[in-house]
């Protein structure tokens, strides 16, 4: 089906703001016991996409990040590797070579990240380049300009085209909504529902390049959209909150929310990720505290 057919009869789902806020308060009040906390911290670490998306990125910086992805902390026992390393398309090959022999995936941002301000032809060329360089996953941005103008058919058409390209190459697709730019929670729900019509592998909150990144309210609305989509179609779609999640306590609250809204089946890095550059270190500090009873100082953990 094409975008026009998929959007035929589309009706936005209104968001109960008071209900969302009340549920977030209850989730944050959950007590996480020691054994569950240990399991949760390990799970969080395994779900992180370590990210470097700066103009100053170099091959050496990416190689250092890849080493950390595979060996988050050599001194701690049983520490898993992270899920993926996320880089620009031109550094995919460097990351792929550095991660050879590991289970860590290479994700590439695409479709003229972070703005999305280009033609579809250029976006597809960039995506194909990233795939040809060895990307396992593509993190695309939607055209917020078109979304804000109400051109939902074009937004969906672009996602469908990128999804088709990824599917043809056995590459997983994450669709970034950039929720901080598209407005209210009602608009977040609308954008989520539109993206889900393309059956991407994930929907994702943010690029991390604007002030408003992921928060629990936005993520809850997106999780509810995923659940409703699953109930209607039977198609499982993952979730990736990105940007602004830098401490282990908050990350554990996100896991509680995922379990309560979507269920245990989503609690793996196949279906849930954190887009983060600072979260891993705080998780490692907490894991060290759980093992030894003593907090380690931040300088004992690499910044890359």
pLDDT on residue 272: 98
> In the Cβ-directed half-sphere of 263, how many Cα atoms lie within 13 Å?
8
pTM for this predicted structure: 0.94
- In whole angstroms, give the CA distance from residue 207 to residue 180: 10
- In whole angstroms, give the CA distance from residue 78 to residue 162: 37
Q: Measuring CA to CA, which residue among 182, 183, 189, 179 is closest to residue 15?
A: 189
Pairing of strands 274-276, 84-87: unpaired
pLDDT on residue 294: 61
pLDDT on residue 244: 86
pLDDT on residue 295: 58
pLDDT on residue 194: 98
Q: Measuring CA to CA, which residue among 257, 203, 267, 260 is closest to residue 235?
A: 203
CB 117 within 8 A of CB 145: yes
- In whole angstroms, give the CA distance from residue 273 to residue 46: 8
What is the dotted CATH code of the domain comprising 23-294?
A: 3.20.20.70
Angle formed at CA 176 by CA 302 and CA 10, multiple of 5 degrees: 160
Q: Measuring CA to CA, which residue among 231, 233, 227 is closest to residue 271?
A: 227
CB 3 within 8 A of CB 157: yes
Other Cβ atoms less than 10 A from the Cβ of 165: the count is 19
Other Cβ atoms less than 10 A from the Cβ of 239: the count is 25
- From 136, 201, 240, 282, the catalytic residue: 240
| Catalytic residue status for 77 | no
**What is the CA 255 to chain-centroid distance, rounded?**
13
pLDDT on residue 35: 76
| Catalytic residue status for 139 | yes
pLDDT on residue 34: 75
pLDDT on residue 302: 56
- From 136, 139, 201, 282, the catalytic residue: 139
CB 213 within 8 A of CB 219: no
| Catalytic residue status for 240 | yes
Burial of 9 (0-12, 13-18, 19+ CB in 10 A): exposed
Residue entry with tokens 């779609």:
237
Per-residue pLDDT of the chain (304 residues; tens, 9 = 90+): 899 999 998 999 999 999 999 999 999 998 887 778 889 999 999 999 999 999 999 999 999 999 999 988 665 677 899 999 999 999 999 999 999 999 999 999 999 999 999 999 999 999 999 999 999 999 999 999 999 999 999 999 999 999 999 999 999 999 999 999 999 999 999 999 999 999 999 999 999 998 888 899 999 999 999 999 999 999 999 999 998 899 999 999 999 999 999 999 999 999 999 998 789 999 988 888 776 666 555 555 555 5
Diameter of the chain by CA atoms? 59
Q: Is 134 left (phi over 0), alpha (psi -120 to 50) or beta?
A: left
């Amino acid at each position: 089906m094409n975008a026009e057919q998929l959007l035929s009869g589309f009706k936005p789902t209104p968001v109960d703001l008071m209900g969302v806020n009340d549920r977030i308060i209850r989730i944050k009040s959950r007590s996480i016991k020691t054994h569950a906390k240990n399991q949760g911290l390990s799970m969080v670490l395994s779900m992180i996409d370590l990210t470097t998306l700066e103009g100053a990125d170099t091959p050496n910086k990416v190689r250092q990040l890849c080493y950390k992805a595979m060996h988050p902390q050599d001194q701690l026992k049983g520490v898993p590797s992270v899920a993926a390393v996320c880089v620009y398309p031109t550094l995919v090959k460097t990351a792929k070579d550095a991660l050879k022999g590991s289970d860590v995936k290479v994700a590439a941002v695409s479709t003229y990240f972070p703005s999305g301000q280009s033609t579809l032809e250029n976006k597809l060329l960039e995506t194909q380049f990233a795939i040809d360089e060895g990307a396992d996953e593509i993190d695309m941005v939607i055209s917020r300009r078109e979304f804000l103008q109400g051109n939902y058919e074009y937004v969906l058409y672009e996602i469908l085209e990128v999804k088709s390209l990824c599917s043809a190459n056995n590459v997983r697709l994450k669709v970034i909504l950039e929720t901080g730019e598209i407005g209210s929670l009602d608009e977040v729900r609308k954008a989520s529902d539109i993206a889900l019509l393309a059956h991407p592998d994930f929907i994702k909150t943010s690029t991390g390049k604007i002030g408003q990144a992921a928060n629990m309210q936005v993520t809850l609305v997106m999780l509810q959209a995923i659940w409703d989509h699953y109930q209607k179609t039977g198609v499982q779609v993952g979730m990736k909150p990105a940007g602004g999640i830098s401490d282990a306590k908050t990350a554990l609250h996100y896991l509680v929310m995922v379990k309560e809204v979507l269920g245990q089946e989503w609690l793996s890095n196949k279906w849930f990720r954190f887009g983060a550059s600072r979260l891993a270190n705080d998780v490692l500090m907490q894991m060290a505290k759980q093992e030894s009873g003593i907090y380690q100082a931040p300088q004992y953990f690499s910044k890359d």
